[in-house]
Each structure stands twice: as structure tokens, then as C-alpha cells.
Amino acid sequence: MSAYRDSFFKYMVRTGPSPMGIEPVKAEGSYIYDRHGKAYLDLVAGVSALPLGHRHPAVEEAVRRQLDRYWHVMVYGEFIQDISVQLAQKMASLLPPRLQSMYPVNSGTEAVEASLKLAKRYTGRPKIVAARYSYHGNTQGSMSVMGFEPRKIPFTPLIPGVEFIRYNDESDLEKIDGRTAAVILETIQGGAGFIEPRGDYLRKVRQRCDETGALLILDEIQTGFGRTGRMFGFENYGVVPDILVTGKALGGGFPIGAFHASPEMTETLRRPPMGHITTFGGHPVVAAAALETLNQIERLELCRASLDKERFIRETFRHPLIQEIRGRGLMLALMMPDKQTADRLILEALDRGVILFWLLYEPRAVRLTPPLTVSREELARAWQIIKDILDRHS
Ligand SMILES: Cc1ncc(COP(=O)(O)O)c(C=O)c1O
């Protein structure tokens, strides 16, 4: 018997066709426990949002310390809240000189919105270039740069002045021109099926931006913070964006987003005054969680760990029904022959206590984005179950 199932369907807005419906009562490390005491090995990590797994003790301790000091005290940018400043300082130490100024907000999509505003404000140009099959969030600005028509048409009109290019197709780069404020790209396309930039594609984009004076915005909301084996995904491809957008993993399980750019660029948000404002951005409790999450990613050497575990997965997860493993680090997608096989694997694995998930636009993909702290033993245990399910469907 479920205590809240009926009320969940009755009182909470539902937008997905069939929710997974787990009722968690506790989560720790790589596991979520439901109200019947069933343990689920979490290979999704809140959709790439839990680099340290659930309730990492150091993050919990940092949050408790901040809870004892002060919570929300003022809107963003008025008071000098030491913990938020420390977070910005820490981010600056991890990022190249061009990205030293940080504005923390409350979610990924909000950070994307702000980055688009900043690009238009700084360049004075009207046009944004985005990629087909991109995903940048679900508010109106972010949906305007979403490269998947079926999801956005019902919500039109969205923001005008967006042109789309094919990701990894250099012949489209001529659409970036003197009217372009910014090109926004995911460093690795997520919803599209964990599509990596091929060869020196990102460098070519960077070059075209430099030639035309357009800014390069990289959305690292999913690829950031060790998931691809480097602290930031762009480090894999030898480019530095003009504006970086982060979120998800940065909060270590608390809601956050942020954009990062040069002080010269971000100061344009002071003219007119209050060019971007938020009540809760830089929230001190979230900032405490984020700062400690960054410290732990470094302390536990999770960038290297993510590559080690990628190797283990690629060597171990071999099966005739796995046609390809896409992605990098612990941002991996098992490619199934068809949607039915992917659906069956995800649902049967859930039944057997392993959480897998879908990608937004690629129905053949099965998401594998575990906590970066997941152990080899946990991955091996998950593989036994996945293999067993696939064997029965071969
Ligand atoms: C690449 C990318 N950009 C933006 C977002 C939106 O972030 P949020 O859900 O925090 O608004 C996501 C979330 O999945 C994402 O993966």
C-alpha cells in the first residue's frame, strides 16, 4: 500500500507519461531506499546532479554549519555573504581568466536565460545561434534555443531571432555572422544522445565566433564538475567559452545554476541598474553545499575516478544488444537496437533495484550517469542485473 500515490496523482502536476513512482524515505551514497525497505542502486544520480552520491557527510556537515549561522538574509548582490563569496572565489580558482566573475542563480534554465541576456546586452546584437537537438532548459528563453520542434511548437511564440545549426556540421558555421550575439552549445549534447563534438568542431566554432565577434556560450549544466573526466567538459576539447553556464552537480544535491564570464562583460548588467536580479541566487545554504561539493570533487580526485570507471564500464558492459556506448567519463549512454528494448531494460532494472533512465530525444538510449563516487563493486552488481535482463531479451 502506498501512502501518497493517490495524492501524488491528484495534487501534483504531472507532465510525464508514466512516472517511475519510487517513494524514497532515505538515500545514502549510491542507494535510495523506499518505504518498503527496498534498496535501489542509483545509476542516474538525480540526472547528473549528485557527483558525490546521496547525502555526502562532508556536504551535510557544511550545510548544518551554515544552517546554524544564517539562511536567506537579503536578495542577491546586496549583502556580502561570506559563504557565497567563498564559492565564487573557489570557482574562479578552477576557471580560466576569462571566466572569473560568477553569478549564482537557482536553476540551470535560469542561468541559461541570464547568459542569453548578457550576450545581447554586451554585444548589442539581436541574433542567437543554437544547435539542433539541443536542450538548455524549459523556460521561454531556454526553450527558444531548444533544437527539438515537437517539444516547443505548442508553446510558441517563443523568443524571435534564433537560428539553428547542425551540431558537428562545419558547413553550417557560416550562419554565425556579424549580427550574432552568441552561439549557445552544450559541450556534449545530452538530450540528443550524448553526442560529443567531433574532431576539432568546437575549435572551429570558437574560431568563427572570434572572426565575427559573436560570443561562445557553453552550457555545462550536465557536463560540468568531473562528469566527463575533467572539471569542465570544455577542457577536453581545447576551447574556452566567453560565457560558461553551470548547474546540477555544482549544488551537490541542492538547487543551483550559475553563469561565469569576464568582469568586463558582467559589469554591463549594471547599466541600467539591476540588469539581472534574483531573490534567492547565491543562497547561503546552497552555497555551503556547493563549496564543499567542489572541495570533495578535488579531494576525492573524482575527475580521474570518472575516467577509471568509464574504462571499467566499457570493458564490462558488453552484450550483443548494446550496440554502442556513447559519451565520455560517467556521462554514458547504452545504445539499444530500438526503443522497446531500451524501455524494457529501464523498467525491468527498476523492478530489480537498479535505477536507469531515458534521454530526452533519443529513444534508443539508456542513461548511465551514476554518482562519480560509485564503486566498481556497485557497477559490477548493476551489470549482473542489466546483463540478465538483456540475456532474456536476446
Ligand atoms: C544541458 C542542460 N542545460 C540546461 C538544463 C536545465 O537545467 P534545470 O533543469 O536545472 O533548469 C539541463 C537539465 O537537464 C541540461 O541538461
What confidence score (pLDDT) does residue 1 get?
Answer: 60
What percent of the chain is predicted at pLDDT more than 90?
A: 98
What confidence score (pLDDT) does residue 382 get?
Answer: 98
Atom of ligand 1 nearest to the CA of 222: 16
Average pLDDT over residues 167-178: 98
What confidence score (pLDDT) does residue 285 get?
Answer: 98
* Ligand 1 and 283: CB distance under 6 A: no
* Ligand 1 and 284: CB distance under 6 A: no
pLDDT tens string 209-253 = 999 999 999 999 999 999 999 999 999 999 999 999 999 999 999
Average pLDDT over residues 83-106: 98
With 90 as the cut, is the pLDDT of residue 103 above it? yes
> What is the distance between the alpha carbons of residues 32 and 41, in angstroms, rounded to a whole number?
7
Task: Report the nearest-CA residue for atom 2 of ligand 1.
Answer: 136
Residue of 221, 232, 243 best suited for mutating to test ligand 1, as the one with most atoms within 8 Å of CB: 221
With 90 as the cut, is the pLDDT of residue 362 above it? yes
With 80 as the cut, is the pLDDT of residue 2 above it? no
Q: How far is the CA of 44 from the centre of ligand 1 (A)?
A: 14
pLDDT tens string 25-65 = 999 999 999 999 999 999 999 999 999 999 999 999 999 99
What confidence score (pLDDT) does residue 394 get?
Answer: 84
> What mean pLDDT, rounded, does the chain reach?
97
With 70 as the cut, is the pLDDT of residue 6 above it? yes
* Ligand 1 and 254: CB distance under 6 A: no
Q: How far is the CA of 135 from the centre of ligand 1 (A)?
A: 7
Q: How far is the CA of 48 from the centre of ligand 1 (A)?
A: 10
Task: Report the nearest-CA residue for atom 8 of ligand 1.
Answer: 108
Which cell numbers in the block locate residue 346?
A: 529501464
Q: How far is the CA of 137 from the centre of ligand 1 (A)?
A: 5
**C-alpha separations of 212 from 216, 279, 298 in Å:** 11, 36, 37
* Ligand 1 and 137: CB distance under 6 A: yes
Average pLDDT over residues 163-171: 98
What percent of the chain is predicted at pLDDT more than 70?
A: 100
Q: How far is the CA of 222 from the centre of ligand 1 (A)?
A: 7
How far out from the chain centre does Cα 214 lie?
24
